[in-house]
Amino acid sequence: MNAHQIYAKDYIGRVLGTHDLRGVEIPADLLQKVFSALTRQEEIITLDRDEWGNFDCQHSQAFRAGNHQRAWLDEMIIQAFPLIERKSIWPNNKPFALCLTHDTDELGLHVHYSKLKREFTRVQDPNFARRFLKGFISAGTHLARSVNAAAKPETLRIEEWLKLEDKYGFKSTFHIFPQYVNNRHAWDCDYRYADKVVYQQQLVPFATVMREVHKSGWEIGVHGSYESAFNADLLLAQKHQIEDVIKAEVISTRQHYLHFAAQTTPSVQVQAGLKADSTLGFNRNIGFRAGASFPFRMWDHKNQVALDLLQIPMHIMDVSLFREDTLKLDEASAIAHAVQLLDHVCALGGCLTLNWHTQLLHVPHMRRVYETLLDEAARRGAWGCSMGEILAWVKRNYVSV
């Protein structure tokens, strides 16, 4: 077997629930298809990109074939081995995993005030007027949205996320944006860890919340800035900013805007010392970008070796269900679609990964869909977990990731 085939075989073993495939003949064309899907060859071949510079659902072969909402790669593998009795690969033989993640793009109204104050200090900046206006509009939008949601506008509500997940015995990963960004891009987030947020009815610096979340056993990951997808030094410095606050190693990541290139980003993440990524998902749809529901190792295209980086593909993001430029579903259809994916992954025994933005819990329909998914997953016996927990489990119990 060559390196490509060994890499593909590792994933086939995970889907089948066994790493012992001795004596099992694996067709060469299946190995090739698995390698090609996981290493995202189609993203290298096609030059189609959206306005954020990303390969997205509409550019994929699976979208054209109408099966992007199925884990088509896993199905292909399972169908190829009808005689192998598949076993759960999750703790306590749980039927499937539900990986919970939260990208933190905004902190709340107090932070918008701090941001506006910061903009004032940049009055010499040639873009001052544009930036200030942008800050003013985003503060106004946030206030309107919060008032609309009949919620206290200043409330970030991280503790409510913890309470909600803890009710089911689940944990999650909060991806935090770096507070200082060299090469700042117009689409980057802008908050500081000294910015004040409400936590347990107190106004405290966000750094305190980060430490509390980490101490409670939830995971803090890094939400790498737009340009960090191509710059290891930048991503490493961003990871360090978070580690300095929580005084612990950060191992999980997701790139902001899912900005990602198959040939570059995984190696950049490894060079930055990261061990698990969950960037492979869609911005404008839900489903399976690599056709995979199980985690898999990323591939170094330059050196042609498997990387010490576990991809935990993302399948459902909150905004992809509702936003004008996405699926634009109402609440009932969003729940129906999402539960369909959940049932699909439960039947495959894989891992369904959700991304609900930290700052959107106060939006009632966003919260209800998330809560319904936790509820439905718990009823099906899911292992609700963070990215770090998945990595530790796969590493300890299965393959040499």
**Chain residues that interact with Zn ion, rule: CB under 5 A:** 103, 105, 256
Beta bridge partners of 202: 199
Closer residue to Zn ion in complex, CB, 31/57: 57
Q: Which residue is nearest to Zn ion (CB)?
A: 256
Kindly state the smallest distance separating residue 169's Cβ from Zn ion, in Å: 27
Shortest Cβ distance from residue 331 to Zn ion (Å)?
23
**Residue closer to Zn ion (CB basis): 75 or 105:** 105
φ, ψ for residue 351, nearest 5 deg: -135, 120
CB of 302 to Zn ion, least distance (A): 27
308's CB contacts (< 8 A; 6+ apart) are 270, 275, 297, 401
Nearer to Zn ion, 134 or 380 (CB): 134
Q: How far apart are CA 289 and CA 41, in angstroms?
A: 12
In the bound state with Zn ion, the residue whose beta carbon lies nearer, of 103 and 195, is 103
Pick 103 or 165: Cβ nearer Zn ion: 103
Q: Which is it for strands 252-255 and 219-224: parallel, antiparallel or unpaired?
A: parallel
The least CB distance from residue 104 to Zn ion, in Å, is 8
For the chain, the straight-line distance linking the first and the last C-alpha, in angstroms and rounded, comes to 19
* DSSP conformation letters of 172-213: -EEEE--SS-TT--TTS----TTSEEEETTEEEEHHHHHHHH
Q: CB-wise, 13 or 281, nearer to Zn ion?
A: 281
Pick between residue 101 and residue 267 the one whose CB is nearest to Zn ion: 101
Q: Which tokens hold the place of 106?
A: 């905004």
Residue with tokens 């042609």: 304
CA distance 196 to 154: 9
CB of 228: closest distance to Zn ion in angstroms? 12
Three-state SS sequence of 77-140: HHHHCCCCCCCCCCHHHCCCEEEEEEEECCCCHHHHHHHHHHHHCCCCCCCHHHHHHHHHHHHH
Least distance from Zn ion to the Cβ atom of residue 32, Å:
34
Our CB check for Zn ion shows the closer of 103 and 219 to be 103
Q: What CA–CA distances, in Å, run from 178 to 175, 189, 243, 309?
A: 10, 8, 11, 21
**Shortest CB 382 distance to Zn ion, Å:** 25
Nearer to Zn ion, 281 or 291 (CB): 281
Q: Nearest-CA neighbor of 78 among 146, 10, 15, 1? A: 15
Burial class (CB in 10 A: 0-12, 13-18, 19+), 237: middle
Residue 285 CB, shortest distance to Zn ion, in Å, is 17
Q: In angstroms, what is the minimal distance from the CB of 25 to Zn ion? A: 44
